[in-house]
Structures are given as C-alpha cells and as structure tokens.
Amino acid sequence: MYVDILLGLQWGDEGKGKIVDYLAPKYDIIARFQGGPNAGHTLVIDGEKTVLHTIPSGIMQKGVVNVIGNGVVIDPVTLVKEITTLTAKGIDVKGNLLISKKAHFILPTHKVLDAASEAAKGKAKIGSTLRGISPTYMDKTGRNGLRVGDILNADFQEQYTKVKEKHLHLLKQYDFEFNVEAAEKEWMESIDIIRGFKLVDSEYYLNEALSNSKKILAEGAQGTMLDIDFGTYPYVTSSNTISSGACIGLGVAPTKIREVIGIAKAYCTRVGSGPFPTELDNEMGERIRQIGGEFGATTGRPRRTGWIDLVALKYATMLNGVTQIVITKADILNEFETIDFCTSYKVNGEQTTSIPFDIDRVTIEPVYETVPGWNQDLSPYKDFSSLPATVTNYLGLIEKHLGAPVSMLSTGPQREKLIVK
C-alpha cells in the first residue's frame, strides 16, 4: 500500500523510539533502514525503560512485524543481547523479527579499527561511539563486507578470516594495543543464535507486502544533521539518515512513500564533537541537561544542549520533504519563564538563514527571538485545542518557520504522554 518514514530532524536523540512505539499499531511492518548500534531508541512502557539499539521500536507491539533492513549494520553481540532482554520480558522476538540477508555485520576488528582511528586523531577526534560503524560502512562501500546472508554459506569461516586479516594488516599502521580473542568468541556464539532467526531477502519481502496492501513505517536512526552528505561534515555518521535513505536502506521505490514524519526536541542536543550553533555552555545549558536527563542512551556521555535551531530544522524539513512534525520533550521546558528560538545565523557579520558549507570552520552567531514560556505542567492536557496560548504560540512559530504542521506534542517519556491532532 504505502511507506511512511519517521526520522530525526536534529542531531539524533529526538525521541523517535517513543513515537514509533505509539504509531506501530497503525502499521503492519516497522523497518529500520540505516545506522547500527550507535542508535539508542528509548521506550518507557508501564514505567519500565527499554533501550533498543538495532531492533525496530515496533517490537513492543503485538502482531507487528519488525524488519532490520539492508541499510543497517549489525553487531551480532548487541543484537543477541537485545533479543535476550526482550524475550525475558515476554516479547515474541523470534516470531516478529526479520533480518535482511543484505545487512552488513560489524566484526570485532571493526570496533578496534574505530577506536584506533579515533585515538590517532587526538584533539581532532570526531566523537565516535566506537561501535565500529564507520569501518563497517567503509568495508561495505569498498566491497569487502561480511553480510548476514553469508552465515548460511559453507565457507563462512573462511570469509570471516579474510576480512579479519585485512583489518589486522590495517591496524599495523596504528600504535594501539588490542586483543580480539574474547570478543571473537562471543561474536561467533552470537552468530550461531542469529542463524536461528528469519533471514530474508527484505527487498522482496517488503515490496510483496506493499503489493498486498500492507502499511510500512520506515524507522530512521541518528538525525538529519548527522547525514553523511548533508550533515555537519565531517562530524557526521556514516550513513544517509534522511528520507531518501529509506529507499536505499529498504529497497523500496520513492513512489511508495506517503508521509514523512519529522521528530524534533523542543530544544537541541548533540553528542560528541562538531558544530552546534545554539549550544549553551553555561548554567542554562546544564539546567536543560539535568531536567531532560540528557545523557546518551548508547554511550552514557553527557549531551551538549542548546535552544531550538529553526535554521537547521528548516534545512532538515527541506531535505526530507517533511509532511508533519512531532515536537518531543516539551515537558522539559515546563518551568522556563522564557524560551529562545534561533531564527537566523550571523556568519562573518552577515545574516543568513542557510547552513554554511564550511560550518565546521566558520564562527556562527545565532540570532534569537524570545517568547514567553508556559511555566506550567502540560501533562493534564489531552488535546491541542485546550493547550495554553503560550504553547500554541510556540508551536505556531515552529510551523510558520518550517512550513509544515505540528501533528503531535510529547509531554513526558511515557507512551500515554502524547497529544495528537
């Protein structure tokens, strides 16, 4: 029937997992299309927190099929740990999870290469999660990768050894100590478990589902401003995080796309190094971090915090063809008397509403507008029509600048704390 895409419009950590979990019952299939265990999608259901790094966020809903698409890179150990945790909670993972044969594996030596490369950069480090993501995508584009379907081959061990030896040769250029033997044992044990799951030609599976009038939600990871082509390069991830990446990462045609749902926090955060024009490296930033619990779901690192950046959000809305916007974590601003919006930048003394090509090299001064905060708890509100005028004014400014409607407002981490138009 159709594919809707849900993705982040900022630097990741926008709260995509909660929204996918809420929307999942409206779809037959939830499919991850890029990224890997550098993602951390947090769900809070009945007071219990679950963090998913690889498995799509629809897995918590009964009767919904979840697909790990060809564009995803998989760490077998991380995946098996997720499977074990979910199974212990009574989730039928084996019955509702399909894994693309064309998805690539992260090897133990990919992680070592990631760590060695990052260490060698010194102060110029990118801020990698050290999960082996970049080296895995490099092997994929270099046509040296190991794919999920390869574990069904009789010569899989030989294939693995060939890639591993290449990595060991590359590691000789670094002054970096490592030992992969223990990790390798756990990796191989995880591979044995994955062999027992449904490994599919996901592009055929998904297109057949579309032909049979099934509804698919494509789930993105990270965020638009981390896209390998259009993000704040070189401080980006190694995959295409924007909506067009869903077509490549799942094997579906652009003509099948219906809605593009963009997720943004009521403020901004970023993990790791790289440009962040509205960063608040002060008491206000720390206040947002502490109230918002802004620490990475994957790394545990403190997230950098700042006011909402409408220049970056407008750019992301354009790139993705966003048809509706979801604003999350509005509750974090409940006690703020005023809220700032970045509506333009000053670059070399000139005002602009565009993202500079050399954003990593120029000094950007954000230009703000200030509006009154709502200064109250939003959890009692159940619909948009009853929201305080300060909130509707805030949302109206976002819609005006981005040219797309706000369809949902999240007022807390719980599944039920969501106002929907």
Q: At what angle do helices 76-88 and 181-194 cross, to 10 degrees?
A: 60
Cα separation, 228 vs 242, whole angstroms:
9
Write the DSSP assignment of 125-166 as a string of letters.
Answer: -----SSSHHHHHHHHHTT---BGGGGGSTTHHHHHHHHHHH
Exposure string for 58-72, b = 16+ CB within 10 A, e = fewer? bbbbeebbbbbbbbb
Active-site residue set: 13, 41
The token pair that represents 23 in the structure block: 């929307």
Q: State the burial class of residue 172 (Cβ atoms within 10 Å of its Cβ: 0-12, 13-18, 19+).
A: exposed
Question: What's at 187, amino acid-wise?
Answer: W
Q: What is the dihedral of CA 197, 203, 209, 211, to 10 degrees?
A: -160
CA angle 302, 303, 305 (to 5 degrees): 130
The residue assigned the tokens 């027992």 is 196
Q: What is d(CA 73, CA 35) in angstroms, rounded to the nearest whole number?
A: 6
